[in-house]
Amino acid sequence: AQSVSQHNHHVILSEAASLELGCNYSYGGTVNLFWYVQYPGQHLQLLLKYFSGDPLVKGIKGFEAEFIKSKFSFNLRKPSLQWSDTAEYFCAVNALSGSARQLTFGSGTQLTVLP
Amino acid sequence: ETGVTQTPRHLVMGMTNKKSLKCEQHLGHNAMYWYKQSAKKPLELMFVYNFKEQTENNSVPSRFSPECPNSSHLFLHLHTLQPEDSALYLCASSQGAASYNEQFFGPGTRLTVL
């Protein structure tokens, strides 16, 4: 079965700092990759997604993620954080073959941005 | 009301109670999902419905019983739950159950089993 690992459970950074959140998955076939975000008191919402093509994908609010197939990684980045980026971030993977075709989530990373 | 709505937002129940969670999507989607989100654990997919037909059941105990009367409504019937079932239950929908379709989530029902 596929699994998703998010290595950082809680990250605390200051405004204007750069961000990189790690995400690794374990599945050898073709995958679709997602980052979801949950702002305090709000629903989970899609931040960005990768299906095919350019491995560097851009999402909302200045976020981007790079798919590195050889490393089974899909790390999330933002060059300059804002206080409003405080939220919980979830990486998710959906395999396209075999029995594991469901969306599998990582355990999430709580990001706190200090003003 | 837009998006995906869930009621109630909070529920406290005893182990012998029977209750139901309701989810409604106003997006014209065909697929609906139930997830369980426990503290410090990844979201766990429980059930998937595509065009009202259940397509996934991830070894969920029978004390959780889903119902999908139409593509817009999804219920989760609860009976004789255990304290470890306390969690946030999230509903989601998508345009078809294909892997590339973005899922839209509701706000969740915070369930506490005493």
Low-confidence ranges of chain A (pLDDT < 70): 1, 96-101
Instruction: Verify whether the Cβ–Cβ distance B42 to A4 is below 8 Å.
Output: yes
CB < 8 Å to B48, chain A: 102
Task: Note the pLDDT of residue B58.
Answer: 77
Dihedral of CA atoms B40, B43, B46, B50 in degrees, nearest 10, equals: 170
Identity of the residue in B41, B99, B107 whose CB atom sits nearest the CB atom of A32: B99
Buried b (16+ CB within 10 A) or exposed e, B14-36: eeeeebebbbbbeeebbbbbbbb
Burial of B71 (0-12, 13-18, 19+ CB in 10 A): middle
CB < 8 Å to A94, chain B: 99-100
The HSE-up count of residue A78 (CA atoms within 13 Å, CB side) is: 25
Distance from CA of B82 to the nearest CA of A (A): 23
Task: Note the pLDDT of residue A100.
Answer: 42
Identity of the residue in B43, B102, B104 whose CB atom sits nearest the CB atom of A105: B43
Task: Encode chain B (114 residues) as per-residue pLDDT tens digits.
Answer: 579 999 999 999 998 889 999 999 999 999 999 999 998 788 898 998 888 788 777 789 999 999 999 999 999 999 999 999 999 999 999 987 766 678 899 999 999 999
